[in-house]
A and B are shown apart, each in its own frame.
Chain A
Amino acid sequence: MSDKNFPLLFERSKEGRTSYSLPELDTESFDLESELDEVYIRKEAPKLPEVSELDIIRHYTGLASRNYGVDSGFYPLGSCTMKYNPKINEDIARLEGFSHIHPYQDPSTVQGALEMLYDLQESLKEITGMHEVSLQSAAGAQGEWTALMMIRAFHEANGDHHRNQVIVPDSAHGTNPASAAVAGFEAVTVKSNEEGLVDLDDLRRVVGENTAALMLTNPNTLGLFEKEILEMAAIVHEAGGKLYYDGANLNAIMGYVRPGDMGFDAVHLNLHKTFTGPHGGGGPGSGPVGVSEELAVYLPKPVIIKKDDYYTFDNDRPKSIGRIKPFYGNFGINLRAYTYIRTMGAQGLKKVSEYAVLNANYMMRKLEKAFQLPYPQHCKHEFVLSGSIQKRLGVRTLDMAKRLLDFDFHPPTIYFPLNVEEGMMIEPTETESKETLDSFIDTMLHIAKEAEENPEIVQEAPHNTIVKRMDEATAARKPILRYRE
């Protein structure tokens, strides 16, 4: 990490340099220019880089060194489940029999792929306790929207066209209300109580004949288990609504309790979180949807089925909400998740949740000595600290996050959920050793001490990174979204 103004690939470009190695034109040649009307022939070549193969490798090796991943160090980004990404998953995903198959091949030529998908569906049914699972959705947000579209179809089939509201807790991920809006619903907020859980009285107030569903993350984004889940389910179901489970935090409860058994009618999972499909710098993900028997007829098309030991697609689903994505979901990510599930088994997955929760509680107890802990009960796989003590010393949570960078840690999620002042949401995951947790804890305590004794060093952080704090205001006011010569 040396060069401050790292060149863009376009700036390394030099007319006449090439890196391509195209197959030969071994057929006769046709005069394309006389065949096509000249208006359809591109006048000016797109300005892609002109670089050598070594230029490309040096460029991206340089960029990689300016990036931080789980393989670089501890990444306690709350709600994102930044666990280790097993290398076998990458190897399996690159087997030619999986990576080089076309979605329109005849099912008889892709039985291995379909068997894997079917078995993954079965595994996720068992893990979630749901009746049927679709692997179509590309990511969590698409899974949310897919399930809400199914819930909408269910209400419409019952003639309940007036059910146009989806209830979302104030601590929910932003995708929840956004998905509700894209599915054509109005998002209604339900408040949290002093314990950080959904306020049942407020829930009773907001449910009604217009309620289509309640979207709930459990444990919630504060890392707290909604222990009154059965009462909540009863309130929503009695009002005629459906209960939706946002699986972002499934890593906390595998093998302990299943959404289906808690009364949820629909769930989505984030395979790139709980089931180790890597995050890839922001994607691709996979967001399978599981549903109750009642909602199963609305699943997106097609559904993978097994008939007499032959795997194929079922497109004969007249009540289906339709197709939500071309082809059959993010197969490559589903395959990685499947490899992980087969590595861990039932016992292993339960241990995953046990250690994810143990690690979070251990860190929480160590850190509450220096930071305000708004919700003192045991947490699940993550917890939220408030930086309010440090704020009074003039040191904001953002400053502490930036200071962590100086110690080669990725900061936690900050300023989320919205109901905690100066929030820091910490999710260690189960794959980190006690030594790593202790090292992070020591660093956090050190920063808390700095905030008291030498606040400038925190306020002016980071000091050791390749770039300092960025001018985000100018970036948004005068956007530069592409390179120009």
Chain B
Amino acid sequence: MEFRYLPMTSGDKQEMMDEIGIESTEELFADIPSHVRLKKEMKLKAPKSEYALTKELTALANKNTSTKDVVSFLGAGVYDHYIPSVVDHVISKSEFYTAYTPYQPEVSQGELQAIFEFQTMVSELTGLPVANSSMYDGGTALAEAVNLSAAQTKRKKVLVSEAVHPEYKQVIHTYAKGQSIEIVPIKLKDGKTDLTNLKELLNEDIAGVVIQYPNFFGQIEPMESIQELLDNQRKTMLIVSSNPLALGYLTPPGDFGADIVTGDTQVFGIPAQFGGPHCGYFATTEKLMRKVPGRLVGQTKDENGARGYVLTLQAREQHIRRDKATSNICSNQALNALASAVAMSSIGKHGIRKMAALNMQKARYAKKKLMEHGIPIVHDGPFFNEFVIQLDKDISEVNAELLEKGFLGGFDLGRVDNAFQGQMLVAVTEIRTKQEIDQLAKELGDIHV
């Protein structure tokens, strides 16, 4: 069998073994205790040629129902948005995707500058002065923010709104256990954080308060009132998880006094790809700059005074600080941060407001059409591009019926909690058309009766 990634000829191999002074490469493995050595070949599928493997994996891909083949109203943290063509052309440049972390700035200025620009864009959107180079995803970024609030305030209790994405909450719980942080839920009221309950729970033991804005149900949280409640609490941090696209239209969390804003830039240029890789972002205040997890790119000058960029404030990081590091994160999502930077540049300063507004417009139209077809809307507060409907049927059955008509229905909230049985979270992005929305409303109206 020939292997196209292995260039050594038998002649090369012999010359190299002669240089080393061995007769067989087996000698190089002689220090492995013989009785644990693998005596047989590993049981893996036989290798395939490029053509045959492409054919097989294409067939496997075709077994999946792609959102390119159906009309999707499914969101719940992962969205079907317009991806500018330039994005894939840029991230396919192999100087970017085959590079490692830019530890040698002289030959990594491209990556470093692209990330510096990404940091700037995240800072602009969130309204906070400092943003890092990326995190794994919105969920782990939020969990790291919770850990940071506890470390910074030296408190061990964090309040998390029940309107935060359910899987983000689960990730927070797992991370918090490692640091022995107690997580206390803040109740829901009308699909939003219950302010009365938040007020009751706030005290001087609370390290941070976690809010999602817009929240998991699409509702725009009353950030102004939340800020007022927190203004009375010294030290307690306001941690906000935000869909960054929404921040093209909505007031940024930084303006409401958020100490940390996290989220996922999947909405900018990153396909759903079954949930990952996406791209977490992490923004914060100047005060917390030296506590940020992950990599930061900073601007500086070279010996000749030319402007350039380097990884900076590395004393926070695991490779320097080891067990005293602010986080264990090493690899991040650099290439996806690049994709999002390209998408944000393409959409631009005015486009982003238009794109966010377009989502809001089409979502409002969908809500109106569904109401016209007799479908109850669960919450009546202001929302971004998602809202909840109530049906008299099991949502998984509804979605099976919709799929037959060519629709990917919304998220089944009954999966989260029995109290939400029959509720569907409908996402409407800018790429949905009037015709598609009209059709969905009609189909759901027929199913609901």
CA distance A183 to B8 in the complex (A): 43
B276 and A64 contacting across the interface, CB-CB below 8 Å: no
Q: Which of B348-386 contact A (CB under 8 A)?
A: 348-355, 357-358, 360-362, 364-365, 382
B65 and A101 contacting across the interface, CB-CB below 8 Å: yes
A185 to chain B, nearest CB (A): 9
Closest partner residue, chain B, to A39 (CB atom): B224
A326 and B273 contacting across the interface, CB-CB below 8 Å: no
Cβ–Cβ < 8 Å partners of A430 in chain B: 5-6, 8
- Pick from B20, B90, B251: contact of A60, CB below 8 A: B90
- Pick from B22, B115, B296, B310: contact of A472, CB below 8 A: B310
The verdict on A113 contacting B173 (CB below 8 Å), with A272-B331, A343-B47 known, is no
- Pick from A59, A66, A112: contact of B62, CB below 8 A: A112
Check A157 for interface membership: any CB of B closer than 8 A: no
Check A354 for interface membership: any CB of B closer than 8 A: yes
Q: Which of A470-485 contact B (CB under 8 A)?
A: 470-472, 474-476, 479-483
Interface residues on B, range: 35 or more
Some 25 contacts from A to B, beta carbons below 8 A apart, are A20-B348, A22-B82, A22-B347, A41-B251, A48-B352, A57-B86, A64-B90, A80-B100, A102-B272, A103-B78, A104-B74, A140-B331, A175-B330, A279-B98, A280-B99, A326-B165, A329-B275, A331-B273, A348-B1, A349-B42, A352-B6, A476-B314, A479-B289, A481-B131, A481-B298
Beta-carbon contacts of B397-408 to A below 8 Å, as 1s and 0s? 001100100001
How many chain A residues have a CB neighbour from B under 8 Å? Answer: 204
CA distance A381 to B275 in the complex (A): 34
B304 and A321 contacting across the interface, CB-CB below 8 Å: no
CA distance A141 to B22 in the complex (A): 37
Beta-carbon contacts of B44-75 to A below 8 Å, as 1s and 0s? 11111010011011101111111111001010
CA distance A85 to B301 in the complex (A): 33
Cβ–Cβ < 8 Å partners of A4 in chain B: 304, 306
The verdict on A27 contacting B431 (CB below 8 Å), with A104-B78, A325-B140 known, is no
A468 and B306 contacting across the interface, CB-CB below 8 Å: yes
Check B36 for interface membership: any CB of A closer than 8 A: yes
A470 and B430 contacting across the interface, CB-CB below 8 Å: no
- Pick from B16, B174, B313: contact of A321, CB below 8 A: B174
B119 and A405 contacting across the interface, CB-CB below 8 Å: no
B140 to chain A, nearest CB (A): 6
In order of increasing CB-CB distance, the 3 nearest A-B pairs are A327-B275, A97-B61, A280-B335
B93 and A97 contacting across the interface, CB-CB below 8 Å: no
B346 and A149 contacting across the interface, CB-CB below 8 Å: no
A299 to chain B, nearest CB (A): 12
CA distance A86 to B250 in the complex (A): 42
Check A445 for interface membership: any CB of B closer than 8 A: no
A20 and B84 contacting across the interface, CB-CB below 8 Å: yes
- Pick from A13, A23, A46, A327: contact of B78, CB below 8 A: A327
Cβ–Cβ < 8 Å partners of A20 in chain B: 84, 346-348, 351, 354-355
B284 to chain A, nearest CB (A): 10
Check B440 for interface membership: any CB of A closer than 8 A: no
Check A378 for interface membership: any CB of B closer than 8 A: yes
The verdict on A10 contacting B274 (CB below 8 Å), with A60-B93, A349-B44 known, is no
Check A303 for interface membership: any CB of B closer than 8 A: no
Q: Which of B385-400 contact A (CB under 8 A)?
A: 396, 399-400
The verdict on A283 contacting B331 (CB below 8 Å), with A69-B95, A405-B104 known, is yes
The verdict on A344 contacting B95 (CB below 8 Å), with A178-B322, A178-B327, A339-B53 known, is no
Q: Which of B275-323 contact A (CB under 8 A)?
A: 275-277, 279, 289, 295-304, 306-310, 312-315, 317-323
Cβ–Cβ < 8 Å partners of B308 in chain A: 467, 470
Cβ–Cβ < 8 Å partners of A62 in chain B: 110
A32 to chain B, nearest CB (A): 6
Cβ–Cβ < 8 Å partners of B43 in chain A: 126, 346
The verdict on A138 contacting B411 (CB below 8 Å), with A53-B346, A227-B33 known, is no
CA distance A106 to B223 in the complex (A): 35
- Pick from B74, B298, B364: contact of A480, CB below 8 A: B298
Check A193 for interface membership: any CB of B closer than 8 A: no
Cβ–Cβ < 8 Å partners of A90 in chain B: 92, 97
Closest partner residue, chain A, to B104 (CB atom): A411
The verdict on A355 contacting B8 (CB below 8 Å), with A35-B382, A281-B97 known, is yes
A365 and B328 contacting across the interface, CB-CB below 8 Å: no
A174 and B320 contacting across the interface, CB-CB below 8 Å: yes
A347 and B32 contacting across the interface, CB-CB below 8 Å: no
Check B333 for interface membership: any CB of A closer than 8 A: yes
- Pick from A57, A98, A255, A402: contact of B274, CB below 8 A: A98
Main secondary structure of the interface of A (DSSP, over half): loop
The verdict on A42 contacting B252 (CB below 8 Å), with A342-B45, A479-B298 known, is yes
- Pick from A56, A139, A469: contact of B303, CB below 8 A: A469
B358 and A97 contacting across the interface, CB-CB below 8 Å: no
A68 and B3 contacting across the interface, CB-CB below 8 Å: no
Q: A92-B61, A181-B324 are in contact. List 5 more A-B contacts (CB 8 A).
A: A50-B349, A59-B345, A112-B60, A178-B322, A270-B331
Check A362 for interface membership: any CB of B closer than 8 A: yes
CA distance A428 to B313 in the complex (A): 30
Closest partner residue, chain B, to A166 (CB atom): B323
A43 and B110 contacting across the interface, CB-CB below 8 Å: no
The verdict on A45 contacting B345 (CB below 8 Å), with A23-B433, A57-B86 known, is no
Closest partner residue, chain B, to A26 (CB atom): B434
Cβ–Cβ < 8 Å partners of A51 in chain B: 345, 348
The verdict on A253 contacting B32 (CB below 8 Å), with A23-B82, A138-B276, A178-B322 known, is yes
CA distance A62 to B95 in the complex (A): 11
A-contacting 9-mer, from B176-184, B187-195, B201-209, B232-240: B176-184
B376 to chain A, nearest CB (A): 20
Beta-carbon contacts of B21-44 to A below 8 Å, as 1s and 0s? 110010111111100111001111
Which residue of A46, A77, A330 has the most chain B CB atoms within 10 A of its CB atom? A46
- Pick from B57, B84, B307, B352: contact of A45, CB below 8 A: B352
- Pick from A263, A343, A359: contact of B53, CB below 8 A: A343
Q: Which of A83-106 contact B (CB under 8 A)?
A: 83-86, 88, 90-106
- Pick from A57, A173, A253, A281: contact of B99, CB below 8 A: A281
CA distance A301 to B174 in the complex (A): 11
Cβ–Cβ < 8 Å partners of B139 in chain A: 325-326
Cβ–Cβ < 8 Å partners of A377 in chain B: 31
CA distance A21 to B44 in the complex (A): 47
A43 and B434 contacting across the interface, CB-CB below 8 Å: no
B25 and A278 contacting across the interface, CB-CB below 8 Å: no
A19 and B5 contacting across the interface, CB-CB below 8 Å: no
B116 and A482 contacting across the interface, CB-CB below 8 Å: yes
Check A431 for interface membership: any CB of B closer than 8 A: yes
Cβ–Cβ < 8 Å partners of B300 in chain A: 470-472, 474-475, 480
